[in-house]
């Protein structure tokens, strides 16, 4: 009967372990990263008695996690991708809000060119001129405001990088510490389930920040790499990442691994990878495109303004001013050379940044992503390096092999544009020349457009008399006879004049310098037409279209980001559901198990009670 008692006790103890496991599952139903545990039972070795084997009860032999490494790693991958997509979408939404918000550049452009038209309608009206300067300052403020918002978003990515690196280091150390604890716990002969869960949860949190690759070793410790294979955790050792400023641009933070190597472009997915991807593929192109629009505005408007005459009788000066392209030297440079850049052809200007490198004999130019760009010249002041409308020189110092510079032709242009004049009299609304028809003319010749073709011609303002010697011939200042065909164009010193109709013999037309306060609006009309002028992309793209391209560029990136976020969320939900179907705590199932083990426990107690009753009966019989 002692065997029956032992059998009952074994059932009691086994059921108690089962009850404890179920209770542990129920208690951790809301614990993040917890894996459901199950108790495994084995029958004890039977005893041979009376020609048969009699069972001796059961033992609880292990408490195991309901765990699949495949499903867990699938969830880590999905977590990285979903976190990246979510963060990327948030950044693109902020950028989209900036370009389509209250500081809308198209509205400011429309207001500015509307004010130019008002000046054309009343060239000497002080109020119209003052309104134009006001709209010009509004336009400049809008450019600057958008640029400032982009800079703020850039700083937010820096904050994200700093925060993410700190979290990575903390989680890496936690995983390394858990590696050591798990290895020691396994020495006791059983799997430390809760420690394993803690390690997996730490890896899950890490995967949300950066893509991870995890390998479990024979000693039960894991090796963790991030991104494109950068080692992070090995056994009980954790690599410490740091941040450092970009080698060219000190306003930019990069992630630095062991030995000082920059690994920003190796991080892949996760929220940290999204920050760098967004910066490269959305933010920088948007800032460059905005700056390109500002440069186009400044260049085209100034060029036309210079062809006019202001109310003081002077040739028009710069209406807008803007800084030269930003040039940054690498902190790794060993030479003392300096580099300068200026824009010489806006029509060829791209939205790219460039890196200029010296190989010890020659300079080479690539875009920021490493694409080689054709260039001419050697970089000297006498023979500048020319690329995409830029002129690059090394005005002083001597470069050494391996030295490099980064050029940002348009990045900061929108933040530096300003109105160069404040005096309304200096608005050059009048054309430099005025064409008149002699009142004594008897023919039907009609004046057309007078266009300045070369404002730098030294004889531009020389008075000219055009006299027709017949309906088909004319002279200029008494020179040789020239042929006229109706309609026709007469060319002068840096100008052209269109005529139509049939002049009569002795008819005259005059081209003279415009006088100050003449009321002429020739240049104001030309300035208003700058809005429709192809300035960028070799004369194809207007200023307004350039901004429209920026809106489309950011909007498309935002739409794609939202689509990717929805898709990745669906993938994560599926991966989580698959993992939780195996590893998650199901309260209905646990309630059923609780009842089952309670009944088994009570039944085992009855076995013990029966054994006790039988034993007492035997004792009574012996005493009798």
pLDDT digits (tens, 9 = 90+) for 38-48: 999 999 999 88
Report how far Cα 151 is from the mean position of its chain's Cα atoms: 11
User: Of 63, 65, 23, which Cα lies nearest the Cα of 197?
Assistant: 65
Whether 417 contacts 294, CB under 8 Å: yes
Q: What is the predicted pLDDT for the residue at 75?
A: 95
Res 520 pLDDT > 80: no
What is the torsional sign of CA 305, 309, 312, 315?
positive
Query: Mind listing the pLDDT tens digit for each residue in 164-221?
Result: 999 999 999 999 999 999 999 999 889 999 999 999 999 999 999 999 999 999 999 9
Q: What is the band of 369 on the pLDDT scale with cuts at 50, 70, 90?
A: confident
Whether 356 contacts 363, CB under 8 Å: yes
> Between the CA atoms of 541, 547, 549 and 552, what dihedral angle is there, to the nearest 10 degrees?
-160
User: Of 101, 81, 100, which Cα lies nearest the Cα of 277?
Assistant: 81
Q: What is the band of 100 on the pLDDT scale with cuts at 50, 70, 90?
A: confident
Q: What is the predicted pLDDT for the residue at 620?
A: 80
Q: What is the predicted pLDDT for the residue at 456?
A: 78
Cα–Cα distances (Å) from 352 to 238, 333, 390, 489, in that order, read: 38, 23, 11, 41
HSE toward the beta carbon, residue 162, CA cutoff 13 A: 10
Q: What is the predicted pLDDT for the residue at 624?
A: 60
Helix H or strand E segment including 42: strand 37-43
Query: Mind listing the pLDDT tens digit for each residue in 229-286?
Result: 899 999 999 999 999 999 999 999 999 998 888 999 888 889 999 999 999 999 999 9
Res 517 pLDDT > 60: no
Whether 541 contacts 549, CB under 8 Å: yes
Query: Mind listing the pLDDT tens digit for each residue in 387-441?
Result: 999 999 999 999 999 999 999 999 999 999 999 999 999 999 988 888 889 999 9
Res 103 pLDDT > 80: no
Count CB-CB contacts under 10 A for residue 336: 12
| Higher pLDDT, residue 614 or 568 | 568
Q: 166 in the Ramachandran plot: left (φ > 0), alpha (ψ -120 to 50) or beta?
A: alpha
Domain boundaries defined on the chain: 2-66+584-623, 72-284, 288-424, 433-513
């Amino acid at each position: 009967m002692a065997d029956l008692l032992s059998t009952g006790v074994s059932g009691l103890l086994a059921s108690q372990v089962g009850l404890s496991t179920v209770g542990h599952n129920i208690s951790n139903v809301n614990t993040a990263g917890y894996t459901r545990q199950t108790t495994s039972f084995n029958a004890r070795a039977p005893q041979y008695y009376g020609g048969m084997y009699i069972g001796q009860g059961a033992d609880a032999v292990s408490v195991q996690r309901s765990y699949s490494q495949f499903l867990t790693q699938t969830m880590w991958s999905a977590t990285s991708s979903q976190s990246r997509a979510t963060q990327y979408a948030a950044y693109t939404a902020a950028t989209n809000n900036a370009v389509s918000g209250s500081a809308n550049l198209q509205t400011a452009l429309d207001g500015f060119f509307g004010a130019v038209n008002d000046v054309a309608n009343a060239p000497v009206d002080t109020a119209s001129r003052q309104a134009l300067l006001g709209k010009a300052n509004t336009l400049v403020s809008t450019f600057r405001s958008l640029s400032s918002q982009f800079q703020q978003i850039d700083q937010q990515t820096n904050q994200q990088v700093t925060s993410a690196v700190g979290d990575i280091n903390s989680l890496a150390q936690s995983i390394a510490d858990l590696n050591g604890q798990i290895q020691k716990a396994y020495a006791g002969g059983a799997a430390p389930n809760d420690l394993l869960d803690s390690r997996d949860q730490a890896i899950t949190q890490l995967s949300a920040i950066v893509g991870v690759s995890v390998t479990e070793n024979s000693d039960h410790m894991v090796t963790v790499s991030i991104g494109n294979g950068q080692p992070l955790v090995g056994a009980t050792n954790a690599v410490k990442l740091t941040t450092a400023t970009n080698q060219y641009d000190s306003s930019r933070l990069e992630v630095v691994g062991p030995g000082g190597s920059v690994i920003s472009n190796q991080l892949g997915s996760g929220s940290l990878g999204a920050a760098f991807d967004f910066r490269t593929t959305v933010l920088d192109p948007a800032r460059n495109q905005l700056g390109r629009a500002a440069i186009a505005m400044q260049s085209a408007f100034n060029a036309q303004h210079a062809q006019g005459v202001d109310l003081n009788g002077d040739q028009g000066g710069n209406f807008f001013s803007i800084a030269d392209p930003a040039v940054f030297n690498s902190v790794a440079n060993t030479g003392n050379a300096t580099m300068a850049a200026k824009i010489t052809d806006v029509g060829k200007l791209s939205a790219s940044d460039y890196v200029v490198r010296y190989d010890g004999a020659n300079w080479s130019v690539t875009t920021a992503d490493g694409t080689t760009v054709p260039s001419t010249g050697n970089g000297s002041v006498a023979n500048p390096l020319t690329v995409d409308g830029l002129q690059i020189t090394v005005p002083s110092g001597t470069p050494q092999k391996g030295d490099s510079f980064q050029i940002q032709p348009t990045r900061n242009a929108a933040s530096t544009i300003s109105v160069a004049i404040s005096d309304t009299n200096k608005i050059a609304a009048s054309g430099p020349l005025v064409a008149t028809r002699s009142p004594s003319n008897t023919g039907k010749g009609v004046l057309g457009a007078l266009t300045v073709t070369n404002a730098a011609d030294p004889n531009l303002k020389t008075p000219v008399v055009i006299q027709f010697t017949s309906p088909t011939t004319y002279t200029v200042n008494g020179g040789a006879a020239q042929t006229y065909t109706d309609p026709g164009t007469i060319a002068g010193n840096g100008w052209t004049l269109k005529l139509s109709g049939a002049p009569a013999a002795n008819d005259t037309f005059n081209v003279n310098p415009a006088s100050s306060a003449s009321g002429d609006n020739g240049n104001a009309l030309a300035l208003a037409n700058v809005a429709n002028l192809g300035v960028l992309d070799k004369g194809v793209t207007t200023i307004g279209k350039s901004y429209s391209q920026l809106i489309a560029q950011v909007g498309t990136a935002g739409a794609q980001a939202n689509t990717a976020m929805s898709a990745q969320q669906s993938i994560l939900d599926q991966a989580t559901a698959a993992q939780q179907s195996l590893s998650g705590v199901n309260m209905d199932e646990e309630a059923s198990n609780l009842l089952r083990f309670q009944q088994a426990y009570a039944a085992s107690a009855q076995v013990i009670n029966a054994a006790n009753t039988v034993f007492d009966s035997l004792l009574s019989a012996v005493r009798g």
